Amino acid sequence: MDKEELLPKMSEDARQYADRVCDMYNAPFARVMGIEIVSVSTEKTVCEMELKPEMMNSMGRGHGAAVYALLDHAFAVASNLMGDATGQSTEVKFYRPASGKLIAAATLINRSRSLEVYDVRAFSEEGKLIASATCTAFRLAR
């Protein structure tokens, strides 16, 4: 995805960070996983991913690591939007088996000088909650 394709998915307050979001979209791991950006604002980022056959566990359901990858990438885009950050901690809860397309939303809970905390939730296409996470990012000095 290039900047021109991305801008319509970004709120007015986030468009100045389009180059950063393009870099995160084009991260090799995100591309291998097939994670797409749905929308970006300074308060919320939404991504989606279709579970591929190679992302299934031995029971034929979406592997927890694949679900986590989507949660983590939505968190990464949100927390790195306005500057460099690194994940400090994540607590994940899984509620039901995953299949098909998943949608993850990372919503800012709190921002301080050095930390940002996000509520990140993954849903099925039908809107059922698959997993949730509380993710904390540490802001990196430039």
- What is the pTM (predicted TM-score) of this model? 0.96
Q: Which two tokens stand for residue 128?
A: 């059922």
Amino acid at 100: G
Share of the chain above pLDDT 70, in %: 99
Architecture, CATH, for domain 3-139: Roll (3.10)
pLDDT digits 0-9 by tens, 74-94: 999 999 999 999 999 999 999
Answer yes or no: are the C-beta atoms of 118 and 76 closer than 8 Å: no
25 class by beta-carbon count within 10 Å (0-12 exposed, 13-18 middle, 19+ buried): buried
Answer yes or no: are the C-beta atoms of 45 and 81 closer than 8 Å: yes
For the chain, domain boundaries: 3-139
Q: How far is residue 4's CA from residue 7's CA, in Å, rounded to a whole number?
A: 6
Q: How far is residue 43's CA from residue 31's CA, in Å, rounded to a whole number?
A: 24
pLDDT digits 0-9 by tens, 4-36: 999 999 999 999 999 999 999 999 999 999 999
Q: How far is residue 49's CA from residue 4's CA, in Å, rounded to a whole number?
A: 21
Average pLDDT over residues 96-115: 97
Q: How far is residue 51's CA from residue 98's CA, in Å, rounded to a whole number?
A: 8
